[in-house]
Amino acid sequence: MDGVWLPAGSFLISVLLLIVYYTKSNTKSLETYIYARVIILNFVFSLLGMGVYIYAMNIGYIPVISVIQKIYLGILSAIGFYMFLYCVAINQLKDKTYIKIKNGAGIFAIFVVLGVLSLPIETVLYDSVLDVGGISYYCAMLGIIIFFVLIIVMTIVYFFKSRAKFKKCIPFLVLFVLCIGGFLLRKYYPEVITETFFFSFFFLIMYFTIENPDVKMIEQLNTAKDAAEKANRAKSDFLSSMSHEIRTPLNAIVGFSECILNENDLESAKGDAKDIIMASQNLLEIVNGILDISKIEADKMEIVESEYSLKENLDSLVKLTIPRIGEKPIEFKTKFAPDIPSVLYGDSAKVKQIISNILTNAVKYTDRGIITFEVNCINKENSCSLVISVEDTGRGIKADKIDTIFNKFERLEEDRNTTLEGTGLGLAITKRLVEMMGGKIVVQSKYGAGSKFTVYLKQEIRNTLLKQEKSYTVTVANADFSNKRVLVVDDNKINLKVASRMLEPFKIQVEECMSGEECLAKIREGITFDLILMDDMMPRMTGTETFHELEKIEWFKTPVVVLTANAIEGMKEKYLKEGFKDYLAKPIDKLELERVLGQYLISNRESKEEELFEPLPEELFDINVPLNEDE
């Protein structure tokens, strides 16, 4: 029984290791998870190693010893598999790749274990020696050697790629050498059983070195610290980039406004005003971009689906793009497939935003040549797979930078961009919107030659006719509303002034009031208006509260349109649900204002005249339904 000391020592170490490991809190990394499994296996391995030796020395019934030896070798192979897995986990591969490797190695390990259990084993017992051999034994050795060879290959790769990862692999190499030595020793000195001891000892050392919970905790803290520092740096970069991006249009707004103040020539004042409008629109785009990305990151962005006409969206995108090209020698080509369904169901606003972003970039980063805007579709039953591409002959993107353009605030070749406005948010937003809608965006680019952005999106096909919002096509641009009275309610004097000035060209009689209470008092006094434009965020009584109070007045029939800076997505729907007749966002869009005025200031008599006849049923417009000839 002299040979029992090493297996017994190994068993004691494995028990000790389990107690220490499971009584202390551990970090939750993949490596630690694998380690937790392997020390349980090692405990069983040590127990069997010691048990089989004691049994062999005292009872010595060979068939039982052979069965235990097979289980023992099977567990040894499983330990080899887990150690290999541990080395793979060090590399922090992507989940999918790790699972693929794990499954492949797992299948191999299962074959080895099955081979060990099913193939014949030779057990020799004499004096105080327990020797083992046979195909089962060599199968286990083959398995463990293959795993160790893979570990060595990985260690060599880590050596060239990352010293930190390489360091973590060194203990495995030491164990490998010890194991080989142990098995050779056992071949020549069969009474010395070393392998279980080596393994337990190795796992103990591992616990106090690379798997040390304190060291791991410090490592995790350092990683978290690095991430926090990176996030902080990103925030600072963001602030300085925002400061620059916001100040640029602001500079134009303030500067040109000053110029207008000192300008006597009306024409040049108008020119300055146009530049102010351009700069303001740019500023608005930046603000919207920041709001969008914050919303996406806070998981607050929602897909709002409805029936829409893609063709109409494409037409309006083309109309928006042409003026952006301006004087540049660029040919703008459009190729829209004729089989694009007339009605689709999906988030029309987001589809438009996605296309608009890539079109805007194509124009921005192309100085001359051709921009091709192409939309194709594959229609299957009720679904339409859209393939939207924008190809340009612009500056192109370097191959190693293609992946980074979708990062937030990432702008390539900043030095070449000094005259081109941008925040580096457009593509980050675009990619996330595409992914939210279950689609894909692909970039192909040749540096110096051009780029092609392709978006794949799936939308539902609807065969119904689009229910158009009832809108009046009356042109109100030069309309005379001198007999109309509009009340503007806003707590901010400048906003009141802006609204009044924008209503001036229509010769409307505008009244202003600065609070909900004041508005209520006017209406209760019996003053009548044709339209009320109501701000929402006002102190004491919000616009919504004022509106609900107004609704309680029996004879009150004036349409109330909310005029608010609360313009993030979903707000329009919220206000319409509250009962407001319509929604106008600040800054006020001239065309939107004209639409609202046209819709609510056209006298009731005129609209009644229009409705002398009942509207015809929608089916009549469906060309697929034959007209009843009898009628």
Binding site for ligand ADP (CB under 6 A): 361-362, 364-365, 392, 394-397, 405, 410-412, 422-428, 451
Query: Nearer Cβ to ligand ADP, position 397 or 561?
Result: 397
**CA distances for 242 relative to 134, 146, 286, 312, 342, angstroms:** 73, 56, 9, 34, 40
Which residues, in sequence order, are bridge partners of residue 444?
Answer: 452
Instruction: Tell me the closest approach of the beta carbon of residue 449 to ligand ADP, in angstroms.
Output: 10
Instruction: Tell me the closest approach of the beta carbon of residue 362 to ligand ADP, in angstroms.
Output: 5
**Helix and strand numbers, DSSP H then E, in the chain:** 18, 14
Instruction: Tell me the closest approach of the beta carbon of residue 397 to ligand ADP, in angstroms.
Output: 5
CB 253 within 8 A of CB 275: no
Q: Give the separation between CA 392 and CA 394, rounded to whole angstroms.
A: 5
- Spacing of C-alpha 292 from chain mean position: 12
- The phi and psi torsions of 54 (rounded to 5 degrees) equal -65, -45
Instruction: Tell me the closest approach of the beta carbon of residue 452 to ligand ADP, in angstroms.
Output: 8
If DSSP codes are grouped into helix, strand and coil, which group holds residue 263?
Answer: coil
Query: Nearer Cβ to ligand ADP, position 415 or 469?
Result: 415
If DSSP codes are grouped into helix, strand and coil, which group holds residue 378?
Answer: strand
Instruction: Tell me the closest approach of the beta carbon of residue 425 to ligand ADP, in angstroms.
Output: 6
Query: Nearer Cβ to ligand ADP, position 425 or 523?
Result: 425
Residue linked to tokens 């009306």: 266
Residue linked to tokens 């090493």: 6
Q: Which amino acid is at 515?
A: S
Instruction: Tell me the closest approach of the beta carbon of residue 442 to ligand ADP, in angstroms.
Output: 13
If DSSP codes are grouped into helix, strand and coil, which group holds residue 99?
Answer: helix
Query: Nearer Cβ to ligand ADP, position 357 or 495?
Result: 357
Residue linked to tokens 């007209």: 627
Query: Nearer Cβ to ligand ADP, position 110 or 449?
Result: 449
Q: Which amino acid is at 407?
A: N
Number of Cβ atoms within 10 Å of the Cβ of 519: 27
CB 394 within 8 A of CB 372: no
CB 346 within 8 A of CB 460: yes
Instruction: Tell me the closest approach of the beta carbon of residue 361 to ligand ADP, in angstroms.
Output: 3
Query: Nearer Cβ to ligand ADP, position 241 or 348?
Result: 241
Q: Give the separation between CA 582 and CA 596, rounded to whole angstroms.
A: 8
Instruction: Tell me the closest approach of the beta carbon of residue 428 to ligand ADP, in angstroms.
Output: 6
Query: Nearer Cβ to ligand ADP, position 440 or 524?
Result: 440
Query: Nearer Cβ to ligand ADP, position 389 or 451?
Result: 451
Residue linked to tokens 């369904």: 341
CB burial class (10 A; 0-12, 13-18, 19+) of residue 374? middle
CB 191 within 8 A of CB 127: yes
If DSSP codes are grouped into helix, strand and coil, which group holds residue 329?
Answer: coil
Number of Cβ atoms within 10 Å of the Cβ of 275: 15
Query: Nearer Cβ to ligand ADP, position 336 or 447?
Result: 447
Instruction: Tell me the closest approach of the beta carbon of residue 357 to ligand ADP, in angstroms.
Output: 6
Instruction: Tell me the closest approach of the beta carbon of residue 276 to ligand ADP, in angstroms.
Output: 21
DSSP state of 613: S
Query: Nearer Cβ to ligand ADP, position 412 or 502?
Result: 412
Name every residue whose Cβ is closer than 8 Å to that of residue 66 and which is 6 or more positions away in sequence: 121, 123
- Shortest Cβ contact with ligand ADP: which residue? 422
Instruction: Tell me the closest approach of the beta carbon of residue 570 to ligand ADP, in angstroms.
Output: 24
Query: Nearer Cβ to ligand ADP, position 452 or 485?
Result: 452
CB 77 within 8 A of CB 148: no
Instruction: Tell me the closest approach of the beta carbon of residue 469 to ligand ADP, in angstroms.
Output: 31
Q: Give the separation between CA 444 and CA 441, rounded to whole angstroms.
A: 10
Query: Nearer Cβ to ligand ADP, position 252 or 362?
Result: 362
Query: Nearer Cβ to ligand ADP, position 346 or 450?
Result: 450
Instruction: Tell me the closest approach of the beta carbon of residue 116 to ligand ADP, in angstroms.
Output: 56
Q: Nearest Cα to 498, choosing from 565, 558, 543, 546?
A: 565
